[in-house]
Amino acid sequence: MKGILALKIRKLHCRRQKGEQPRLMRTQVYAGEALARYGFPGGHPFSTHRFGAFYKEFEKRNLARRTTVVEPANGDTDLLRSFHNEAYVSLVRQNSDRGFGLLDRGDTPAFAGCFEAALTVCATALAATEVIMAGETEAAFVPIAGLHHARRNMAGGFCIFNDAGIVIEKLFAEYDLKRIAYVDIDAHHGDGVYYEFEDQPGLIFADMHQQYIYPGTGDADETGTGEAAGTKLNIPMRAHSNDADFDRGWAQVLDHLKAHKPEFIILQCGADSIAGDPITQMEYSPASFLRAGKDLARFASEFAGGRLLALGGGGYNLTNIGLGWNNVIEGVLSA
Ligand SMILES: [Zn+2]
């Protein structure tokens, strides 16, 4: 043991002599029971088992040794108001206290405590953003977040509050960023982000999604409006698209990012685009998720000061959640 220790110290000494710093852990992962509470009861595909499915695989791969694991954050109701309007925030609180009621036109029922559970998801995504902006980490991963269908005034597709939208508003308003990228590889179009920032030129949007399924939006000709024309990229993918199809779309996503040079990158990595999801017909393998994490971490290092926030997003096959999300983390770590 003495010999090994001496060798390690000698190696460290050599590195310092060359002026190199030891590689710091660059990724924070938010994990805790409070995130698991965002899930719908009664056999709903967006169940409370999703966080556990992620974390079981995270532990199996021993990723806590290569990342910093952080507890979910608590937040004040005020943080919701940067994106959502007051009437909608009140409606969610009311139905959450009652334990029933619809929050949109049919997909998203209230459950008891849904207000607090959704607030925790948003507060955690925001906490991760603040830590990245403070330079305390380069990348962060928040499972369960990435609730990309929620609009300012209503829920949508199992999404009550739009954590990505809240983060984007915060980055524009308080950090004075001019260009923020939102990249979305979930099987469903990120309509809540797209339409709420459709005319905002600073939001660089790139979304690959299965065409003709919920929410039915995201045509290729939807490229942004007004001053924002050309800042948005929508890539509708055919059902049964595989890794080769992913690679073709992904090349366009990377070109789009290169053209606009964002200062901060958000990835919504919904695992429902991996083969075997019960509610979509996409057929990527988890390898595409490794690639997404790796390429965006490299891109972030080159152009965006390393700033990358990955949000879990959808995914209703529990095995795929574990494989896809942890592959994104491993991709970031291997960049
Ligand atoms: Zn989805």
Question: Residues with beta carbon < 5 A to ion ligand 1?
Answer: 186-188, 270, 272, 314
With bands split at pLDDT 50, 70 and 90, how would you rate the model's confidence at 107?
A: confident
For the segment 3-31, what is each residue's pLDDT rounded down to a tens digit? 444 444 344 333 434 444 434 448 999 99
CB 314 within 8 A of CB 187: yes
Residue 120, domain extent: 24-334
Token duo for residue 248: 């073709």
Ligand 1 midpoint to CA 156 (Å): 11
What percent of the residues of the chain are helix, what percent strand, and what percent coil, each to the nearest 5? 45, 15, 40
34 domain residue, yes or no:
yes
Residue 139, in any domain of the structure: yes
Q: Say if 9 falls within a structural domain.
A: no
What amino acid occupies position 140? A
Number of domains making up the chain: 1
Within 10 A of 106 (CB to CB), how many other CB atoms are there? 7
Domain-located, residue 154 = yes
pLDDT at residue 26 in the model: 87
Cα(51)–Cα(141) distance, integer angstroms: 13
Q: How far is the CA of 273 from the centre of ligand 1 (A)?
A: 7
- pLDDT band at residue 104 under the 50/70/90 scheme: confident
Distance CA 66, CA 27 (A): 8
Count, residues in the chain = 335
- Backbone phi, psi, residue 141, to 5°: -125, 130
CA 335, CA 316: separation in Å to the nearest integer?
A: 28
Distance 194 CA to ligand 1 centre (A): 14
Do the beta carbons of residue 117 and residue 105 sit within 8 Å?
no
In this predicted model, what pLDDT tens digit does every residue of 247-290 receive, in sequence order? 999 999 999 999 999 999 999 999 999 999 999 999 999 999 99
Q: Do the domain assignments include residue 197?
A: yes
Tell me if 4 is assigned to some domain.
Answer: no
On whether residue 17 sits in a domain, the answer given is no
pLDDT digits (tens, 9 = 90+) for 28-72: 999 999 999 999 998 899 999 999 999 999 999 999 999 999 999
Domain CATH code at residue 282: 3.40.800.20
Task: Report the separation in Å between the CA atom of 270 and the middle of ligand 1, taken as the mean of its atom positions.
Answer: 6
Is residue 302 included in any domain, yes or no? yes
